[in-house]
């Protein structure tokens, strides 16, 4: 008699740009949805790595993102992602206040047009100043992260001082990681973020600029103006959804570009290729080290696999974006690639509302790099060191020069 294989523990500790071979093995398994076990909680979870199955699950309204974040839900993370006394779910706070439309419009096409030129100018200025430096530069510390901070301040939260931005970056790194800190330390990071916005969200909302937190604070809510507690939760949502994702992805996309100088040369000669290159970066460059999670609100069959009510299914967007059944030669970076849409922003009801602004930010970075060909890594890609355990991949440094 044979015994069922022991489920793999998750996450797979692929902190760099190299995806774990476990993703390929699961994608090639007989079942399109495979059981895994959280390394940190022991919770049994389901993991999807195939593109077609991922799309079906993400568009299935029987699978809820909100329910997957509820207290006591099976989880991949070491701790529940909420400070004591908070919901940890700024989207639900917005929904209850009747501000979801204000939120999505504040991240939509008009916002991208409103901030697009400023982001392009900011990216170009940062890289121009670096080009004037002698010797190698660190594109992580001196380009990608300052650009992400600039976007977060101008577009999302309002004017953050250098010290405030550094504090929020450090506390976010502490809270959003799989390993490297104790559970108590991670909860402390979440508490510090909550305390910061309890003290400063109203000041940021009342400050200068045309940013999303201000728009939400000033918009008429169904139950009256937002209180400080609600505004604090919304500010935390904007921080966590905006800064670690944008800084991590910009770093990864920069490395992808510099590993393909011939592609940068084509973008320099033909800037009309840049929008397609942005989409290929979003497909090719991995960001999350975990997976997008959804809880089944009723028994559901996904491609022949029965998932019971209350169980949590997770979708590896990175694995799905490298599925050879969906993408020809998926591990190759092809700026001119045509084909199915990537899942970099998810899919279905929870498709990332900030996708327009994220594309605008990445476009600004790519244009700045393409405008100055010759930028290259000063170490081999395999020598780049990565922060271990973060939810969102980020290198410790990107040594480069012209």
Q: List, as residue ranges, the binding site for heme.
A: 352
Q: What is the DSSP string of 42-83?
A: --EEEEE--HHHHHHHHT-TTEEHHHHTSTT---SSSS-SS-
Q: Nearest-CA neighbor of 360 among 14, 26, 113?
A: 113
In terms of Cβ atoms closer than 10 Å to its own Cβ (0-12, 13-18, 19+), residue 222 is exposed
Q: How far apart are CA 233 and CA 237, in angstroms?
A: 6
Q: How far apart are CA 45 and CA 33, in angstroms?
A: 10
How many helices and strands, by DSSP H and E, does the chain display?
16, 11
Provide the token pair at 148: 């992400």
b (16+ CB within 10 A) / e for 332-367? ebbbebeeeebbbbbbbebeebbbbbbbbbbbbbbb
Annotated binding site: 352
Is 300 within 8 Å of 315 (Cβ atoms)? no
Is 112 within 8 Å of 356 (Cβ atoms)? yes
CA atoms within 13 A of residue 25's CA, in its CB half-sphere: 8
Q: Over the Cα atoms of the chain, what is R_g?
A: 21
Is 287 within 8 Å of 244 (Cβ atoms)? no
């Amino acid at each position: 008699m044979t015994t069922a294989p022991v489920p793999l523990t998750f996450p797979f500790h692929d902190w760099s740009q190299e995806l774990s071979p476990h993703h390929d093995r699961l994608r090639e398994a007989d079942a399109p949805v495979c059981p895994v076990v959280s390394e940190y909680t022991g919770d049994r979870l389901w993991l999807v790595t195939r593109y077609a199955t991922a799309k079906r699950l993400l568009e299935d309204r029987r699978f809820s993102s909100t329910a997957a974040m509820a207290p006591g839900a099976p989880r991949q993370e070491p701790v529940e992602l909420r400070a004591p006394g908070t919901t940890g779910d700024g989207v639900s706070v917005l929904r209850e206040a009747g501000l979801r439309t204000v939120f999505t419009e504040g991240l939509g096409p008009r916002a991208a047009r409103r901030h697009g030129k400023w982001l392009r100018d900011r990216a170009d200025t940062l890289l121009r100043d670096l080009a004037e430096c002698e010797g190698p530069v660190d594109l992580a510390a001196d380009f990608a992260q300052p650009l992400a901070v600039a976007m977060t301040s101008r577009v999302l939260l309002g004017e953050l001082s250098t010290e405030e931005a550094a504090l929020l970056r450090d506390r976010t790194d502490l809270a959003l990681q799989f390993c490297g800190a104790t559970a108590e330390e991670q909860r402390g990071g979440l508490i510090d973020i909550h305390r910061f916005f309890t003290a400063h969200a109203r000041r940021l909302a009342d400050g200068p600029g045309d940013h999303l937190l201000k728009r939400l604070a000033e918009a008429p809510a169904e139950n009256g103006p937002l209180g400080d507690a609600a505004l604090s939760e919304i500010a935390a949502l904007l921080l966590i959804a905006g800064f670690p994702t944008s800084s991590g992805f910009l770093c990864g996309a920069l490395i992808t570009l510099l590993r393909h100088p011939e592609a940068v040369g084509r973008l320099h000669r033909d800037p009309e290729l840049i929008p397609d290159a942005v989409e290929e970066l979003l497909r090719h460059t991995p960001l999350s080290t975990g997976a997008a999670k959804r809880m089944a609100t009723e028994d559901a069959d996904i491609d022949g696999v029965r998932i019971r009510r209350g169980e949590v299914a997770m979708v590896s967007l990175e694995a799905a974006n490298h599925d050879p059944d969906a993408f020809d030669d998926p591990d190759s970076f092809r700026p001119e690639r045509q084909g199915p849409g990537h899942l970099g922003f998810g899919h279905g009801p929870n498709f990332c509302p900030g996708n327009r602004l994220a594309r605008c930010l990445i476009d600004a970075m790519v244009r700045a790099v393409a405008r100055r060909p010759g930028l290259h890594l000063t170490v081999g890609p395999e020598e780049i060191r990565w922060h271990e355990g973060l939810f969102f991949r980020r290198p410790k440094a990107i040594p480069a020069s012209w």
